[in-house]
Structure 1
Amino acid sequence: MYSEEKKQYFSTELLGWYRRHRRDLPWRRSNNPYYIWISEVMLQQTRVETVIPYFERFIERFPTMESLANAPEEEVLKLWEGLGYYSRARNLQGAIREVQERYGGTVPDTKEEISSLKGVGPYTSGAILSIAYNKPEPAVDGNVMRVLSRYFLIEEDIMKNSTRSSMEKLAVELIPEGAAGEFNQGLMELGAMVCTPRAPHCLTCPVRQHCSAREAGLEEALPVKKKAKPPRPEYRIAALIEGSGSNSGKILIRQRPQEGLLARMWELPHVEVPYMYPAAPSLPREVPEGVNSLVDALAGETIGFSPERWFMQAEHTFSHIHWEMQVVLGTLERPVVPGSRDAHLPSHYRWVDAASMAQFAFPNVFLKIINRYFSK
């Protein structure tokens, strides 16, 4: 379908360019498959500049697979805090435990074995096998599909599995013998630094001479990508509940359920409401009943919740949901008396101050709210 000359030019020029211009990134200083694995998981949906300090802190704390396999999940999530997509961290730890148990602590070097591990898809397996073991396996992500779409003028929708599959086959044909790791990293690098989604830097592109999209004036029209369904909006009220007495200077947090979105992470109590309430010095009359349900374990006959004032507005977008959130400051109507039947919180609630925050992993949206509260 594509001439050998066109493919050979692409492979040769790209590999030479990468060897001359590759960025000095911490995970490129070693062919340790464990480190490469961590970096590739962190880099999914996340910019290189953001990942670097996370990667360095992570391998400092967990320098070996054994140390990560044996770590409490809470500690792993705390080090991941702010990166988002927390299932990546859980799957990574679960897969590392599988490697410890099934492969004696050695990351498998075959497609079949490595693809059987939890959370390891085609891209991650291809990246590890090619970069760590120099196996001629494709590692096709969004950057790579953009480069291939433009250079070879591929006008099929890259969101389709059939398009990805054909690009993986093409990528294998392009890999130079003995240089799989460098070539795949060069493809990623070209997409990240030169063949960018908007305003590609064609004049500095090492393969511009035979780029079909550039010749046709379609470089900014490709790749073809069907727009994803926008995330549905959800409106929420969250409560910063301030403690008193022995809990003075603390706020109430709760742990999310064991399964589902942001599983087992910590958060401010919050509740979905039918629409976004405007910020005001005091809550509208109808809100307190809804807010009371935020503290379901404490609200009722003996302890109630009195909303006092708005604190801030926050928002966060997941892949399928967009939260718009009003945050209200509140206090318990009367403090929990030590020794009473209300003295002990349910296991999924805690009182925390600024110093104890380090013990709990929070989604970014709540971390920002709480840090702002404690810094006021």
Structure 2
Amino acid sequence: MKDYNFAHKLLAWYHENRRILPWRDTHDPYIIWISEIILQQTRVVQGYDYFLRFMNRFPDVDALAAASEDEVLKCWQGLGYYSRARNLHAAARQIVEWGGFPERYENIRQLKGVGDYTAAAIASFAFGLPHAVVDGNVYRVLSRYYGIEEPIDTGHGKKYFAAMAQELLPEGKEAADYNQAVMDFGAMQCVPKSPKCEDCPLVDGCAAFRDRKIQELPVKSRALTVTERYLHYMYIEVGGEVAVFRRESNDIWKGLYEPFLIETPAACAPENLLNDEKVPSFIRSDKVVMTYLCGGVRHQLTHRTLICDFYKVELADKPDDFGRRVCWVKKEELSNYAFPRLVVMLFEKFGLW
């Protein structure tokens, strides 16, 4: 279907209200790619400074490809979803190996970590190709305006909206502006809560406004399941050096560093923690000075609530029975390493770096 009135009003709104952003008004696929990956699960107001910092450190794909993973993760620190940074790094090396940034949607889609939305955005904004973008903003605008109750979190629903967005896409040079327009409109006007219906240029044709279903659309079929995890961090210091560990498993924060960690299946009081079999024997020694700094610190991730207790452990000598590879880092050099935001907050709260 082609709804020229819908597209015309959106484009008119966009030309008056478009956001001025450093990744706009460029056809450089590297710049567009970096911005899209940063903004996948980050609001523009949060991602703006991270984008500038990332581009300053890695101004082109060659610089990104040549960097170490630790360098990339450190620059990404605080953005979360660290698999995005690792995928960026791997994809940069793909691009260098291929001899340049791919210019067709199908080839862009083959880059590590690039899905349908990101490939469509790069193809549209960098190369002017007629591919519609579909993100959370697009789902919300289309479902509300056309009164669509198809769930957006099912395979069928995603295909339905993708096909609809493609049909609505104007032809020719307006396609890229239209893609930007519908995303900006969802981010600025048709927001999730309290949308600005009173001055909306689309309100006359909006089914959700007419039927009073604004807060019911878009529809999701499944509620988000959030699990709780109980973390006990031990800041172990010996003679001005601190024991840190790199997370290697396919879990949250892969590739980032953290203090010594014990995870328990449920909350565990400080007086009971030493009985846990995961606690190394040297921590139970009478010579150890162990201080309980804080407990019950809650840190929210998308699918998990982390509940953290934090201890400081002072030792006279470096132990050798951690059970995993340890890095001893001078306290003043801790800030050179990439830590999860939760750990950074704990370090800052107690002046530990």
TM-score, length-scaled by structure 2: 0.92
**Identical residues among aligned pairs (%):** 36
- Alpha-carbon distance between aligned partners in 1 of 2:290 and 2:83, rounded to the nearest angstrom: 34
Native 8 Å contact 2:73 2:255 kept in 1: no
1:10 aligns with 2:1: no
SS of match in other structure, 2:214? coil
Question: CA distance change for structure 1 residues 221 and 302 in 2, over 3 Å: closer, same or farther?
Answer: closer
- Alpha-carbon distance between aligned partners in 1 of 2:336 and 2:84, rounded to the nearest angstrom: 20
Amino acid at match of 2:344: L
- Alpha-carbon distance between aligned partners in 2 of 1:150 and 1:363, rounded to the nearest angstrom: 37
Amino acid at match of 1:206: P
Using the TM superposition, name which of 258-267 and 311-320 deviates more.
311-320
Deviation of 1:344 after TM superposition, in Å, equals 12
Corresponding position of 1:117: 111
- Alpha-carbon distance between aligned partners in 1 of 2:349 and 2:129, rounded to the nearest angstrom: 48
Root mean square deviation, CA, Å = 2.5
Question: CA distance change for structure 1 residues 303 and 15 in 2, over 3 Å: closer, same or farther?
Answer: farther
Deviation of 1:343 after TM superposition, in Å, equals 12
1:237 aligns with 2:223: no
Could you tell me which of 122, 134, 147 is aligned with 1:140? 134
- Alpha-carbon distance between aligned partners in 1 of 2:139 and 2:351, rounded to the nearest angstrom: 44
SS of match in other structure, 1:10? helix
Unmatched runs of 5 consecutive residues or more in structure 2? none
Question: CA distance change for structure 1 residues 301 and 48 in 2, over 3 Å: closer, same or farther?
Answer: closer
Question: CA distance change for structure 1 residues 300 and 158 in 2, over 3 Å: closer, same or farther?
Answer: closer
SS of match in other structure, 1:310? strand
Corresponding position of 1:89: 85
- Alpha-carbon distance between aligned partners in 2 of 1:347 and 1:310, rounded to the nearest angstrom: 25
- Alpha-carbon distance between aligned partners in 1 of 2:16 and 2:4, rounded to the nearest angstrom: 19
Deviation of 1:121 after TM superposition, in Å, equals 0.4
- Alpha-carbon distance between aligned partners in 1 of 2:233 and 2:324, rounded to the nearest angstrom: 19
SS of match in other structure, 1:40? helix
Could you tell me which of 260, 266, 281 is aligned with 1:275? 266
1:329 aligns with 2:312: yes
Corresponding position of 2:330: 352
Amino acid at match of 2:309: Q
Q: How does 1:72-87 map to 2 (within 5 A)?
A: 72-87=68-83
Deviation of 1:180 after TM superposition, in Å, equals 1.8
* Matched pairs, number: 352
SS of match in other structure, 1:330? strand
Q: Deviations over 1:282-318 (max 9, x none)?
A: x31x32233x845x4x838999755333335422233
Deviation of 1:47 after TM superposition, in Å, equals 1.0
SS of match in other structure, 2:216? coil
Native 8 Å contact 1:231 1:317 kept in 2: no
Q: How does 1:1-376 map to 2 (within 5 A)?
A: 4=2, 7-102=3-98, 104-105=99-100, 107-177=101-171, 178-243=173-238, 247-248=239-240, 250-257=241-248, 259-277=250-268, 283-284=270-271, 286-290=272-276, 293-294=278-279, 296=280, 299=282, 305-332=288-315, 334-336=316-318, 347-353=325-331, 355-374=332-351
Deviation of 1:69 after TM superposition, in Å, equals 0.6
Question: CA distance change for structure 1 residues 152 and 236 in 2, over 3 Å: closer, same or farther?
Answer: same
Question: CA distance change for structure 1 residues 197 and 300 in 2, over 3 Å: closer, same or farther?
Answer: closer
SS of match in other structure, 2:251? coil
Native 8 Å contact 1:231 1:321 kept in 2: yes
Native 8 Å contact 1:266 1:360 kept in 2: yes
- Alpha-carbon distance between aligned partners in 2 of 1:153 and 1:311, rounded to the nearest angstrom: 49
Native 8 Å contact 1:253 1:352 kept in 2: no
Unmatched runs of 5 consecutive residues or more in structure 1? none
Native 8 Å contact 1:69 1:93 kept in 2: yes
Deviation of 1:205 after TM superposition, in Å, equals 1.8
Question: CA distance change for structure 1 residues 358 and 306 in 2, over 3 Å: closer, same or farther?
Answer: closer
